[in-house]
Amino acid sequence: MDSAAMFFFFLNQIGRDPPVHVWDPITMQTSSILKGQHYRGISAVGFSKNGKCLASVGLDDYRTIVIWDWKKGDKLVSQRGHNDKIFCLRWNPHDDDRFVTVGVKHIKFWTKAGGGMTSKQGVFGKAAGKQGKQNQMCVVFGKTADICITGGGDGCIYIWTATTLTKKVDDAHQGPLFAITAVQDKVRF
């Protein structure tokens, strides 16, 4: 099933065992309830492009990321995400084994490999300017697997190649960019 055909709803409950509810878009019936892996709540979820995997980020101290086989309700892998809050998780539409998380002054590039996950911290470098690292609120992928664009809490747009910030568009917005999407080779925010 293609993720474009999948509609999902998740409950961001506060508590010991917050569930992720996956709903069928046609029947509006519950397809799966994923639970037993997160504590305090869930901050982000996302389907892989092929629709086979769902990743969720918990609100625990380690921002634990869980990748699920949501149809079976099985956890495939779980790993600590980041010390700081994660605001958004986006699967790479060009590679079903890769996704990105963004949050408080960070971006992480993840690869699902074998029975685990590996991650690389994004490098802000000189392209970030005098302000340095900024909160990253949202993320979208570009035309290739190595390009992604993030919306900053400072109203700037950040363009990444592989794991390195290559360009920053200052003052793209007057406030934080909470949503960003790519439409026919253009970025909308």
Q: How confident is the model over 32-50, as a mean pLDDT?
A: 89
pLDDT over 70 (residue 146): yes
Residue 117 three-state SS: strand
Q: How confident is the model over 105-134, as a mean pLDDT?
A: 93
In the chain, where the domains are located: 20-169
Q: Tell me the per-residue pLDDT of 61-113, one tens digit each, with 9 for 90 and over.
A: 899 999 999 999 999 999 999 989 999 999 999 999 999 999 999 999 999 98
Which pLDDT does position 25 carry in this prediction? 76
Confidence of residue 1 (pLDDT cuts 50, 70, 90): very low
Using a 10 angstrom Cβ sphere, with 0-12 exposed, 13-18 middle and 19 or more buried, the burial of residue 9 is exposed
pTM (two decimals): 0.88
Confidence of residue 41 (pLDDT cuts 50, 70, 90): confident
Which pLDDT does position 5 carry in this prediction? 46
**DSSP state, residue 173:** S
Instruction: Share the mean pLDDT of the chain.
Output: 88
CATH code matching the domain that covers 20-169, chosen among 3.40.50.720, 2.130.10.10, 1.20.1050.140, 1.10.3720.10: 2.130.10.10
Q: How far is CA 122 from CA 46, 105, 175, in A?
A: 20, 10, 23
For residue 43, give every residue at least 6 positions away whose Cβ sits within 8 Å of its Cβ, in sequence order, or none: 12, 57, 58, 59, 63, 85, 86, 87
Q: How far is CA 82 from CA 87, 145, 175, 178, 188, in A?
A: 11, 23, 25, 20, 28
